[in-house]
A and B are shown apart, each in its own frame.
Chain A
Amino acid sequence: MSDALPGLIAEALLTGALVTVNVTAGALTVALAIGMALAAAAVMTNNRMLQTTIRVYVEALRNVPSLTFLFLLYFGLASLGIRLPSMLAAIVGLGLIGGAVTVDIFRSGFLSVPAGQSEAAASIGLTPFVAFRLIVFPQGLRLALPSLGNYAVALVKDTSLVAAIAAPEIMFNARQLVNETFETALIYGSAALVYLVLTGAVAQFTSLVERRLEVR
């Protein structure tokens, strides 16, 4: 083991971690926006078309392996002449997959708010949209938070998949360094530690938010 190795590992994994954080943050934003919007729409309307469209989206993306979907987005579209940069493909891909997960999390959160809450809101003369925004949404969000936290942790781990579409995140860099140095155990072990730190931070953050939003 050369003296330069610890420095090389640190550099590879930390620059990788930065990309992992960016992909996670981007995909999380996309997933939360999609999930929140679709769940709110699904809860507020009885429109069959919309309900069906959401169902198809959820079932399709949940029942196709993430790697397959990422390949389709990155290599598949490229073969049709649409070349997405790998970072963009990673964020959009994981975001769309995540939206299919979070829409059900949000929806069950909103639906867990007792009907009496909306009835009271309607009875004072709030329109359905305002009632949702002021009464159902804040309570449903709080109920959904633990599951959203679990999803965020799972997302950090799933970002390792985007190594396969050449996004230079932790595993991409780790594998490259392994190919150059053959320090397999040390490098992958270090990568595991970096993931533990990242997922730990996400879990800490969500429990912090949960406590902040707790009903006193």
Chain B
Amino acid sequence: MAADTLLEVANLGKTFGHLTVLKNVSFKLDRGERVALIGPSGSGKSTCLRAINYLEPPTEGEISLEGQLIGRRRNGQPMTDREMAPQRAEIGMVFQHFHLWPHLSVRANVALQPRKVRGMSRDDAEMLAGDLLGKVHLAHKAEEMPQRLSGGQQQRVAIARALAQQPKLLLFDEPTSALDPELVGEVLTVIKELAAEGRAMVLVTHEIAFAREVADRIIFMDGGQIVEDGPAKAVLDRPKSPRLKQFLASLKLGGADE
């Protein structure tokens, strides 16, 4: 393993009964690298992302973060959720539907992880939460309850919540798909700012223009497999496979991009 490899996904497979949703998925991510997973719906890209922190345990293959096997003990046995908790703490996740905790204030949503997982004092955690909310341009909403916020604001709180983990890796699962079109921009702006800081991230997205701008690399998936993997511009501008050509053409026809 190269010294700067952060994440290694090796021969990942996932089946639900007879249905194969992931097959032989392998890729690496360097420190500071940003990869966008694109592909038609049902291509397995979200499942792949959710397998990285074992929210969707794979049925085959291995995932390692900084060389440490995720979700499995040294003897290869699967870990319990309890054993996995410290590993998941290293990986921030932003969900399509935000999943903020409605019974906690915006500030408490962000401060929960530092307090309860990393043992920070309440004051320190809330101060950190305030800083992070400032970073996503929501310092003024800290004392609100999440459901008083717009979708775009909620998603930015969710990003601050993930940042509060001080994660080694950020996962974004279609972070703008549940948003009204006019709210997409504010979330993408925040993600771009994080990308500019050189944070490692894996993004599942339908926003091809955004993927081109923010990702170093693009992985195109179809039918649960990786079809193309390469530098963002090369993959998008000079697609090799008929399937990717067809996928990009369908997006243009639909007017979804450019």
List chain A positions with a Cβ less than 8 A from chain B.
Answer: 114, 116-117, 119-130, 134-135, 138-139, 142, 215-216
- CB distance A125 to B99 under 8 Å? no
Tell me which of A114, A127, A130, A138 has the highest count of chain B C-beta atoms within 10 A of its own C-beta: A127
- CB distance A120 to B165 under 8 Å? no
Return the chain A residue nearest B97 by Cβ: A116
| Complex contacts, A122 vs chain B, CB 8 Å | 55, 81, 85, 88
Is B102 at the interface (CB under 8 A from chain A)? yes
Given the known interface contacts A125-B85, A126-B85, the answer about A215 and B145 at a Cβ–Cβ threshold of 8 Å is yes
B220 CB, nearest partner CB in chain A, Å: 26
Return the chain A residue nearest B108 by Cβ: A134
Can you name 15 extra interface pairs (CB under 8 A) apart from A124-B88, A126-B116, A128-B81?
Answer: A116-B99, A120-B93, A120-B100, A120-B101, A120-B158, A123-B55, A123-B95, A124-B92, A124-B112, A124-B164, A128-B82, A130-B116, A134-B116, A139-B101, A139-B102
Return the chain A residue nearest B90 by Cβ: A125
- CB distance B165 to A125 under 8 Å? yes
- CB distance A124 to B89 under 8 Å? yes
Per-position contact with A for B80-123: 1 when CB-CB < 8 Å, else 0?
A: 01100111111111010101111100000000110011000000
Per-position contact with A for B42-76: 1 when CB-CB < 8 Å, else 0?
A: 00000000000101000000000000000000000
- CB distance A215 to B112 under 8 Å? no
Q: How far is the CA of A114 from the CA of B116 in the complex (A)?
A: 21
Is B161 at the interface (CB under 8 A from chain A)? yes
- CB distance A123 to B53 under 8 Å? yes
- CB distance B116 to A123 under 8 Å? no
- CB distance B82 to A127 under 8 Å? yes
Is B177 at the interface (CB under 8 A from chain A)? no
Q: How far is the CA of A125 from the CA of B92 in the complex (A)?
A: 9
Q: How far is the CA of A134 from the CA of B101 in the complex (A)?
A: 10
- CB distance A123 to B88 under 8 Å? yes
What are 18 A-B pairs with beta-carbon distances under 8 A? A117-B101, A120-B95, A122-B55, A123-B88, A124-B112, A124-B113, A124-B161, A124-B162, A124-B164, A124-B165, A125-B88, A125-B113, A126-B113, A126-B117, A130-B116, A139-B101, A139-B102, A215-B102
- CB distance B89 to A138 under 8 Å? no
Given the known interface contacts A123-B55, A126-B116, the answer about A142 and B103 at a Cβ–Cβ threshold of 8 Å is yes
- CB distance B147 to A125 under 8 Å? no
| Complex contacts, B88 vs chain A, CB 8 Å | 122-125
Given the known interface contacts A120-B95, A123-B91, A125-B89, the answer about A135 and B81 at a Cβ–Cβ threshold of 8 Å is no
Q: How far is the CA of A135 from the CA of B104 in the complex (A)?
A: 9
- CB distance B145 to A216 under 8 Å? yes
Q: How far is the CA of A81 from the CA of B41 in the complex (A)?
A: 69
Q: Which of B187-201 contact A (CB under 8 A)?
A: none
| Complex contacts, A127 vs chain B, CB 8 Å | 81-82, 85
B100 CB, nearest partner CB in chain A, Å: 8
B131 CB, nearest partner CB in chain A, Å: 17
- CB distance B117 to A117 under 8 Å? no
Q: Which of B128-144 contact A (CB under 8 A)?
A: none
| Complex contacts, A139 vs chain B, CB 8 Å | 101-103
Return the chain B residue nearest A44 by Cβ: B81
- Contact residue among B55, B86, B87, B92 (Cβ-Cβ distance under 8 Å from A119): B55
- CB distance B103 to A215 under 8 Å? yes
Q: How far is the CA of A111 from the CA of B101 in the complex (A)?
A: 15
| Complex contacts, B100 vs chain A, CB 8 Å | 120
Q: How far is the CA of A122 from the CA of B158 in the complex (A)?
A: 14
Q: Which of B153-184 contact A (CB under 8 A)?
A: 158, 161-162, 164-165
| Complex contacts, B93 vs chain A, CB 8 Å | 120, 123
Return the chain A residue nearest B109 by Cβ: A120
- CB distance B86 to A125 under 8 Å? yes
Tell me which of B85, B88, B112, B164 has the highest count of chain A C-beta atoms within 10 A of its own C-beta: B85
Q: How far is the CA of A123 from the CA of B147 in the complex (A)?
A: 21
Given the known interface contacts A125-B165, A126-B117, A134-B116, the answer about A120 and B81 at a Cβ–Cβ threshold of 8 Å is no
B7 CB, nearest partner CB in chain A, Å: 16
| Complex contacts, B91 vs chain A, CB 8 Å | 123
